[in-house]
Structure 1
Amino acid sequence: CGDVGFGKTEVAARAAFKVVADGRQVAILVPTTVLAEQHTETFRERMAGFPVNIGSLNRFRTPAQQREIIQGLKSGGIDIVIGTHRLLSKDVEFKNLGLLIIDEEHRFGVRHKERLKSLRVGVDVLTLTATPIPRTLQMSLLGVRDLSIIQTPPRHRHSVKTFVAQYDDLVIKEAVIKELQRGGQVFIVHNRVHSIQEVAFKIQNLVPEARIAVAHGQMPGKILEDIMFSFIHHEVDVLICTTIIESGLDIPNANTIIITRADRMGLAGIYQLRGRVGRSRAQAYAYLLVPSMEQISKDAKQRLRALMEYNELGGGFKLAMSDLQIRGGGNILGESQSGNIAAVGYDLYLDLLQNTVNELKKKSAGLLTDTEAAPEIDPEINLNISAFIPESYMPDTNQRYIAYRKIAALKSAAEARELEAEMLDRYGKLPLETRNLLETVSLKDELRRLRITKLEQGPACFVFSFANDTPVTPQHILIFIKLQRGKSRLTPDNRLIVDTVIASTEPLFERLKKILRAIW
């Protein structure tokens, strides 16, 4: 996972070269024909001088050329093939496939990826994306997949300055002229093929001196290829196009992008489009044009606000994390790439899956046997206190929900202190109820360590219920009871009752922690 322009293609090229050197084949799946052609050129340039045979399988190839490439894959004559969905056809067979690389992974469905993976058992998969889909991101966070993040931007790279504006011919004219005056090129994205020629005519009238071309996916392959070639070699100043340019195009001289009706596009889509500019030392600009802020939907406003918030270099991963929180992580064992697990509840599902993954990893490493896996306990705490996040302290419902999720995920007192410092920094002094909530989480960590399954507070006592495999020895408990001089007792069902009367909640947790330290 790396932001647009951070070097994911270079990582893919080196991985592919290593696999080919070991005598295996590599398949690179990309979403668009234009990107397939660009990758083919890049890979051939990077591997020039080495005996690596690279083929490209897409609609720019004639049927005879496609048959030749397919035969080369079957016989082993082609080492690396770069293709679009054509690679998923049933007539495509590999002699010795070793690595599958999926570029712009968010553009493919699960069925597409599983089709290629099913061609051969034991195929390694490398996915490249700036904004991973929730399902893939969740699998990485759970440890089902490995996750590597490229965080360092290229030297002298600037973040793209992004503006949301109402559609206005004057805004477009000034943006185009400003870019042309510094010798650059402009993308204008209009994702409606039926009216794209009208937009081109209007732009030509606004900026008569500009060399303009139109590109969209319904064009014949040869014409589209010629237009893109002209734009890459600066024979065209302004390219008016659909989202066909969304994925992976690398044109350093293009540093302004104008997107019409940005309110109709998805979050990841706009983020990818914005990544087509800003690939050189020059400052890049993105203009997101909408009819008016009053006319667009609430969801569209939230998407545009998120794009403005994640404007810094490396914001793609943060955007994906936010998407995971909003949409849910999808079905790990099925085909849904987002959504919640309705049957058992999302949080419980994640906990069960996380525990299973950890146990399997330990077993595969020889660190755990089937008989050694002790079930993890979740201590129940019932205290006569209020423990919650008041609305007056954190008014935004979404922020409170995220805060509760963070608190529920805490595993130690140290993590609780870190979250307390974060909340103090963002929202100010914590109210008593919120401090009680964080203290309860810290206390739960102590109870879990001692395998105490339940803690209850009665009118004048505390009751600790121990699991059968608690590390607390009977000798320690007997010594504690003796020191209490009749104020504590142990019942036959492994419950320790400690008499106490506490009027204030302030010393409550201190008293409980003293008891736990005394019995351990």
Structure 2
Amino acid sequence: PGHDVGAHRQPVDRLAVRTYVMPWDEVSLREALLREKYRGGQSYFVTPRIKDLPDLEKFLRVSVPEVKFVVGHGQMAPTQLEEVMTNFYDGQYDVLLSTTIVESGLDIPSANTMIIHRADMFGLSQLYQLRGRVGRSKARAYAYMTTPAEKTLTLSAEKRLQVLQSLDSLGAGFQLASHDLDIRGGGNLLGDEQSGHIREVGVELYQQMLEEAVAALKERAGEDSLSDRGWSPAINTGAAVLIPEEYVPDLNVRLSLYRRLSEAEKSADREALAAELIDRFGPLPPETDSLLKVVAIKGLCREANVSKIDVGPKGAVIQFRNDFFENPGALVGHIAKNAAVWKLRPDQKIVVKGEWDTPAARLDAAEKVLSVLARLARA
């Protein structure tokens, strides 16, 4: 109570902003600006100091002559500045070169590339807000945080930029406040009682869980559920599912692995990812092995339209999404044949009896039961 989780929800079809932290490099920046122009979009080019504007204008004129750019900064007369902004908004220019006036308020869906000059001079929340100017439509957005090529950064500037790169996600605003990523109490969103794991699950996946939890609350309140792609099954087995820090020490790498895992829908993709993990980091720890299983189980849940499976020491309880099963005849037949083990409860949930003492055994059981249901759904 008192905290509206809904406020953090992003539209489901927005993609994460790809964030690059890099030394100033004219070739890459030219490429970034042209890619945006040729896909019909616009770019922001932001610098912390007015005195750097002339150098950056020269860079655009000489190195990227193909783009039309306009300059805006806080010392202009308000009417002049407004005209610059309106013209950019109307699409008359490809690039808006400015000081941080774009930090808040501007909402231009066609602007999906952000280049920040001297990113090391901005604070974390400023960088975060600047990056939030792009990625407001369905197009993939890019943010380039550039730092001086010849200058070494202070440790704190480097840290800030690293944090930002690792919060390569829509829900990062949520993290920024407690940027150690240690958001406790969210564990059961993953369908995993050990709540400390949320810090390990990676920001994007966490954000997705948050959205699903919100959707579930809304569904209970009688509002529309998320679109078909937007639902995610809950799997509760008590197994620890994560990529441990000792296995993959680098946070950015861990987050990107979680993201790739969450997108690995085919078993071939998961096997390739597992092989890559073993190759790069050594044998899979049990928690990571379990994580791969959970991703596989989620795929089976989607095939069988199972919204939730709880597996305990004495059995499993399965709930179908909107109480719908593709092939009820086959299911009823299977339950009748296996009446000692399978039951259909009056509340439309299915109970499967079993003796599964360890979380690992419960994960295997979930996989077996769901394989049966997925097969029956296709029968």
Structure 2 length as normaliser, TM-score?
A: 0.56
Task: Summarize the alignment of residues 358-397 of structure 1 with structure 2, pairs less than 5 Å apart.
Answer: 373=227, 376-383=230-237, 386-389=239-242, 394=247, 396=249
Other structure's SS at 2:310 match = strand
Match of residue 273, structure 1, among 120, 128, 148: 148
**In the alignment, which residue of structure 1 is the partner of 2:329?**
475
Match of residue 147, structure 1, among 141, 156, 167: 141
Q: Is the 8 A contact 2:30 2:63 kept in 1?
A: no
Q: CA deviation at 1:492?
A: 1.7
**In the alignment, which residue of structure 2 is the partner of 1:322?**
165
**In the alignment, which residue of structure 2 is the partner of 1:512?**
369
Match of residue 53, structure 2, among 16, 36, 54: 36
Q: Is the 8 A contact 2:234 2:309 kept in 1?
A: yes
Q: CA deviation at 1:30?
A: 5.0
**In the alignment, which residue of structure 1 is the partner of 2:26?**
5
Distance 1:494 1:30, change over 3 A: same
User: Alpha-carbon deviations, 1:420-469, whole Å to 9, x = none?
Assistant: 33432333111334312321232123213322122233444332222335
Q: Is the 8 A contact 1:377 1:451 kept in 2?
A: no
Distance 1:371 1:101, change over 3 A: same
Partners of 1:404 and 1:27 in 2: CA distance: 30
Structure with the largest fraction of helix: 2
Larger-Rg structure: 1
Q: Is the 8 A contact 1:477 1:519 kept in 2?
A: yes
Partners of 1:125 and 1:516 in 2: CA distance: 43
Contiguous gaps of at least 5 residues in structure 2:
1-18, 120-126, 187-202, 213-223
Q: Does 1:444 align with 2:287?
A: no
Q: Is the 8 A contact 1:380 1:455 kept in 2?
A: yes
Partners of 1:330 and 1:466 in 2: CA distance: 33
Distance 1:441 1:396, change over 3 A: same
Partners of 1:400 and 1:27 in 2: CA distance: 28
**In the alignment, which residue of structure 2 is the partner of 1:183?**
none
Q: CA deviation at 1:102?
A: 3.8
Partners of 2:285 and 2:250 in 1: CA distance: 17
Partners of 1:404 and 1:144 in 2: CA distance: 23
Q: Is the 8 A contact 2:112 2:140 kept in 1?
A: no
Task: Summarize the alignment of residues 196-215 of structure 1 with structure 2, pairs less than 5 Å apart.
Answer: none
Task: Summarize the alignment of residues 445-460 of structure 1 with structure 2, pairs less than 5 Å apart.
Answer: 445-460=299-314
Question: How many percent of aligned residue pairs carry the same amino acid?
Answer: 17
Partners of 1:40 and 1:463 in 2: CA distance: 64
**In the alignment, which residue of structure 2 is the partner of 1:127?**
114
Q: Is the 8 A contact 1:410 1:416 kept in 2?
A: no
Distance 1:403 1:429, change over 3 A: farther
**In the alignment, which residue of structure 1 is the partner of 2:158?**
303
**In the alignment, which residue of structure 2 is the partner of 1:488?**
342
Other structure's SS at 2:147 match = helix
Task: Summarize the alignment of residues 26-425 of structure 1 with structure 2, pairs less than 5 Å apart.
Answer: 31-41=48-58, 81-87=70-76, 89-90=78-79, 92-94=81-83, 97=87, 98-99=92-93, 101-103=95-97, 108=100, 112-114=102-104, 117=106, 127-129=114-116, 133-135=127-129, 137=131, 146-147=140-141, 272-274=147-149, 288=152, 300=156, 303=158, 322-324=165-167, 329-330=172-173, 339=177, 350-351=207-208, 373=227, 376-383=230-237, 386-389=239-242, 394=247, 396=249, 398=251, 402=255, 406=259, 409-410=262-263, 412-414=265-267, 416-425=270-279
**In the alignment, which residue of structure 2 is the partner of 1:462?**
316
Q: Is the 8 A contact 2:32 2:113 kept in 1?
A: no
Distance 1:487 1:395, change over 3 A: closer
RMSD: 5.5
Distance 1:99 1:88, change over 3 A: farther
Q: Is the 8 A contact 1:463 1:498 kept in 2?
A: yes
Distance 1:426 1:9, change over 3 A: closer
Contiguous gaps of at least 5 residues in structure 1:
20-25, 53-78, 151-267, 278-285, 291-298, 307-315, 332-336, 356-369
Q: CA deviation at 1:475?
A: 0.4
